[in-house]
Every structure is written in structure tokens, then in C-alpha cells.
Structure 1
């Protein structure tokens, strides 16, 4: 059957332009393998750290989806820590209840909220017909000692109920300082042995080969499901049908980002956050939909415009001091 040529929906309704899509990256793959390794070896906790805008929250969502497909009998709980989280036990457990989608997260004493949370998590595990609970804590660098102690209480209670709890702390590099301070104190070292056993640095794109993984995903991801409309084809249908593929542009895109990096005079090794690659692709496809033709290609100039409009340079300039600290002698 010949592929259809009439787009099935308006461009503004496409996931690419409303940013409701996910594509894989090498770091997401590494993060997922780290999570699977911990679960299969019985390692109860791991740190996954990386800079802001590196795509860590996005990676959690992607890994949750993969886990639900691969580990059907494992329950998953995802918590995002707010700025300056309360040190109130009652409010903390209320936040956990809300994340667990309990119908009454804000009522009752701290003890009542604790008990409701324990029962809710056990119920989630029971629905999965398993004995494992995977907990993701996003922005984990915001956790304070009290929060870790309360999470330890949750883990203890799950153990008493025959449930193995695996906790993955996902946050910015400053969380490593917290781990170091905990290790130096005998009263807090057990927090490390429970929640911070493994470590993984969540990286940006570090080569053209890294970029190719994600760019190819735009060529292969389909929307609407079951159609022949890949993301790339939806925006550049004639070019795509004539052989155009984003995956073939990985060297060019890397070179354009490298040029922007050099012109900004950054004195640290280039590493492209997922946020800015995604923005560049969205600009490149979204702004050129009207130029689609069988012979159309995304030129160096068009990619340079997309990288410039992605705000990649401005974002990394804000993090310049952090990167210099990360790259001594670079």
C-alpha cells in the first residue's frame, strides 16, 4: 500500500510542537540499564546526577514507560521534590500521598498520613501482583536529612510487608556533596547504604554518534499510532519520501553545535543537553514545513538558525562556572 500524503492532523496538534513526545538518548539507555541492574541484583538505592536541562525528568518518564513494559509485576512510584520542601512530617507524608494519588492527601495527623501512605503503596504493589516497588525521587538534591529518615521508615515498613523497595535519587551534582557528608557521620552513613549505593552521571550528547541515536528516533517514531507518519515525514513529507532522514545529519548537527560552542569561547568540553537538541529539531522541522519538497534538505544555515534559536549558548553561558569546575584542566 502506498503511504498516505494528506496529514492526518494539524501541525499544532502534533506531539513535536506541543512537546509531548519522548525519544531515546544514550544516557537514557545507560540510566535504564543501571536501574535494571540494581533491581536484578537487589541493590536498594542509586544516585543518578546531572546538570539542569540535561533531560533527567524526561529520562525518568522514559524509564518508567520501559519498566512498565518489561517488569509487569513491579509497581512504580514517582515523586518530584519542590523547591524548599517542608520539614514538617505531616506535610511531607501529605506530599507523598498526593504523588500516590490518594484521595485524601491533606487530612489527618502525621501518623494517620503515614499509615495511609503505607497502605496505599502496598495497594499499588498488590495491584501489580508483585513484591517490588520502584521509587523515583526527582530533584533529589532538595532532600534534607529528615526526608531521608522518613523515606527510610517507608522502606522499613515495606520490608515488613514483604515488599522490596528500590529508590532512585535523580538530581543535580550537588547531591554528591550530601552523600559525602552522610558517609562521614556514623549516624547518617546508613542513609548512604540504603539510598546511595550506586552512582551514575547522566550525560548530555558527547559525540555525533550520540546524536544519531536520537535523530534516528524522529525518523522512526510514528504519530498517530498505526499510521505511516513518522515525525520527520509529518513535517517534511515530500523530502522524507524522497529519502531525507534526520539520522543522516548527525555529523552536520554536531558540527553546528561545535561551531556555536567555539564562537561562544566556552573553555569546557562540549556536551549538548537533550533540551537543546530537542528544541533545535523542533525548530528545524516546524519552521520548514512550508518549504517541503522532494529535493529539500536541512542546510547548515538552517541548522545554525535552529541551534541559535534553541538558546543553547545562553543556557550554557549561565552554567559556565559549573562546567569549568567539572572539567579541571580542560
Structure 2
């Protein structure tokens, strides 16, 4: 059990309704021949989890595609050519001491094309995490890269993943106004709000992944739920049996603390809660048959659910 995926500090993502909705919006934008889509989501709602899942499970894409991720660092300024260096570092490419911005662009273009060819595709999907940190010139560089790719028969598509409760620095709000038409029409026309789990049905869907759609060790047929509650699982108990109970308890906590509705459950606190239930309560309890209200309360406390809910702003698009 010491090496089970659920006891690792960095755990593999599972499919969720918000991830599947995100994939649908990306596919729609690609099929509409846009070159990008802007994703808004609050902190700890599972945006990075979604990026990892979609890159690791590329079969969701409408065609074969090369998928990768670039994290945008927080800078007060970026010198000419530094934007392309962000990508090149992602590809582990070492640059000569003297390398012009144009040379970096060409190296990046060639590497993306090389990776596309390795994957047998002409479509490259790049997830830009923390995209609210992009500068206006960064979008111009993307336009140039898009032109270079298009001229050679390849399609660049960028998923701009923004944290909506940003710090409000000037560069983090720059395109709330009126970006140039060539930038807007390529990259910024399509938008999607990434939310949490909306109701008990969404909770049940994710819990079912633990029950039926996971396996460890590979080829064993042992799901994550079964691994930590084998006797109860063999007797017919499932994690999904607690979906309504879990959601109702979380909703009650919010209501008691005068937090507004409607709301959606951020993936961070949800995943921590479920992980604690399985790895600490179900695993440790002899003759385990299911979770009590006290168990749910303890797991929600350990996950920091209420603290996160009190701390975050309730965004207008949560409804």
C-alpha cells in the first residue's frame, strides 16, 4: 500500500464532469478553426488537474494531436525573445549564448513541427497555465508563431488557462479591454468558465471513478475503492453510496456559515476529502461497512473545505 497512487503526494487526476465539459469546448473551438480559447477558473478548482488529465489522455481530441503545457511565470517585464525561451525550456532545448529572438522563434517552430510529426499529426494543442500573466507582446509573438506554423501546413491551438481571482497587476488584466483584432479573432473570441462539482450527481460521477474506473496494480482488477475497503467492497458497498450524504454535508457547512448559493465544489478540497475517507478511515477501521456523518465531518475538516470556501470570493459566474 505504501506505493498506491492514493498515498502519493502528487496523485494522478481522474475524469470529472468539469473536465469533460472543458474538453467539449476545446473541441468546438478547434472545429470552428479558432486558434485558441480562454478558460477562466478560480484558484484550487482543478484547472491544473484538468490540464494534466487532458494531456495524459489525448484520445479526447477531435483528431490526433500533440499536446503540451507551458507555465507562464510572473514577471514585471520580458525582454525580446524571452517568450519563445519559455517554450524552448519546456522542450529541454539548450540555446547558444547569443541567440536572437528570430532564431528562437525558428527553433521553437521547428521543434513543434518535429513533435507533431512524431505524433503523426499537424495539430499542436498548447495549454498555457497562469495565462493571466501574459503581456500584450506575448500575444503578438503567438500570432507570429501561428503564421509560421500555418505557412508550413500545421495548426497551432492555444488553451489560455486564467485564474479569475487574479492579483490585478496591470499585465494580468491587459486584455480585459480591447485587444487588437488580429489577436482577438484568433485567440480570444471563445471563452469557457471552469467550475467545480455542481451537485450530488457530479460528486457521484467522480466517486464512481474510484469505484469502477481505476486499477492498481495495473492488470489486477482492484479499483482504488476496493484496495482500501476490500471486504466492504466485496459485500456490495461502494463509495458512490455516499454521494448525496457527502454533498449535503458540504452544502450544510456553507449554509451554516452564511455562504451564498448556488455554488460548485472546488476539486482540491473534494479530492483531499475523498482521499482521507479511503486512506485513513476505511483502511484503518476493522469491519468497515461505510462512512458515518462523523467520518464525513472529519474528512471535510481535514481537507480544509470550510476554510477554502470562506477564503475564496464567490464569483458572479458561479451560477
Q: CA separation of 1:241/1:129 partners in 2, compared to 1, >3 Å: closer, same or farther? A: same
The 2-side partners of 1:261 and 1:296 are apart by 28
Q: CA separation of 1:31/1:327 partners in 2, compared to 1, >3 Å: closer, same or farther? A: closer
* Greater CA drift, 306-315 or 265-274: 265-274
1:270-301: CA deviation from partner (whole Å, max 9, x where unpaired):
321011110001111111212142x5211111
Equivalence for 1:150: 141
Conserved? CA contact 2:72–2:131, under 8 Å: yes
For 1:241-252, list aligned pairs within 5 A: 241-252=234-245
Q: CA deviation at 1:45?
A: 1.3
SS of the aligned residue for 1:216 comes to: helix
Choose from 182, 204, 212 the match for 1:190: 182
Equivalence for 1:6: none
- With normalisation by structure 2, the TM-score equals 0.90
Equivalence for 1:5: none
Q: CA separation of 1:177/1:69 partners in 2, compared to 1, >3 Å: closer, same or farther? A: closer
Q: CA deviation at 1:48?
A: 1.2
- With normalisation by structure 1, the TM-score equals 0.87
Choose from 22, 41, 51 the match for 1:50: 41
Equivalence for 1:3: none
The 1-side partners of 2:96 and 2:192 are apart by 33
Equivalence for 1:21: 12
The 1-side partners of 2:235 and 2:219 are apart by 22
The answer as to 2:267 corresponding to 1:274 is yes
Q: CA deviation at 1:148?
A: 1.0
Choose from 199, 202, 205 the match for 2:197: 205
RMSD: 2.3
**Count of aligned pairs:** 311
The 1-side partners of 2:259 and 2:305 are apart by 12
Choose from 253, 278, 285 the match for 1:291: 285
Q: CA separation of 1:224/1:106 partners in 2, compared to 1, >3 Å: closer, same or farther? A: farther
The 1-side partners of 2:110 and 2:271 are apart by 40
The 2-side partners of 1:174 and 1:155 are apart by 29
Q: CA separation of 1:326/1:72 partners in 2, compared to 1, >3 Å: closer, same or farther? A: closer
The 2-side partners of 1:213 and 1:160 are apart by 43
Q: CA deviation at 1:237?
A: 1.0
**Structure 2 portions without partners, runs of 5+:** 167-171
1:116-151: CA deviation from partner (whole Å, max 9, x where unpaired):
111111111121222211111111111110111111
1:206-260: CA deviation from partner (whole Å, max 9, x where unpaired):
1101111101101021111111210001111111111111112110000110122
Choose from 315, 319, 322 the match for 2:308: 315
Choose from 225, 230, 240 the match for 1:237: 230
SS of the aligned residue for 2:120 comes to: coil
Equivalence for 2:169: none
Q: CA separation of 1:277/1:134 partners in 2, compared to 1, >3 Å: closer, same or farther? A: same
The 1-side partners of 2:183 and 2:114 are apart by 26
1:39-60: CA deviation from partner (whole Å, max 9, x where unpaired):
2332221111110100001101
The answer as to 2:29 corresponding to 1:35 is no
Conserved? CA contact 1:182–1:191, under 8 Å: no
